[in-house]
């Protein structure tokens, strides 16, 4: 398949284009990662469901960012996305990690 990055020149893009590129890359990469986890990996330190939950959280975050970036794309309300993230994290016993991330993001908002 090869490395697609060797053909890109991200530095030529303006800030909005770079932001959109990374948002879309994250969104589509998270889609491709679904189903790639293996319970057969004896060296894995996390259970399969944790990896799936982490990926699903990132997929939802990127989905939200894509919707914000494209005002023409119908999107899920932000509060709904947060509730989904909470449900996914709770189910995979990752709520403490999600709560920390939300607290840190909220602190940064206070500095804006």
Calpha distance 61→63 (Å, rounded): 5
pLDDT bucket at 105, cuts 50 / 70 / 90: confident
Q: Is the pTM of this model over 0.75?
A: no
Distances (CA, A) of 20 to 52, 63, 65, 73, 95: 24, 12, 9, 14, 28
Is the per-residue pLDDT at 60 higher than 80?
yes
pLDDT bucket at 83, cuts 50 / 70 / 90: very high
Q: The tokens of 3 are what?
A: 């490395």
Q: Supply the angle between the helices 95-110 and 78-91 in degrees, to the nearest 10.
A: 150
């Amino acid at each position: 398949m090869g490395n697609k990055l060797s053909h890109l020149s991200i530095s030529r893009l303006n800030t909005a284009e770079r932001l959109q590129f990374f948002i879309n890359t994250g969104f589509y990469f998270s889609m491709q990662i679904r189903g790639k986890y293996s319970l057969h990996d004896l060296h894995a330190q996390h259970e399969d469901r944790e990896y799936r939950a982490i990926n699903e959280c990132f997929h939802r975050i990127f989905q939200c960012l894509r919707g914000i970036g494209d005002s023409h794309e119908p999107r899920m309300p932000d509060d709904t996305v947060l509730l989904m993230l909470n449900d996914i994290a709770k189910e995979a016993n990752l709520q403490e990690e999600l709560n920390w991330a939300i607290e840190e993001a909220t602190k940064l908002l206070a500095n804006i």
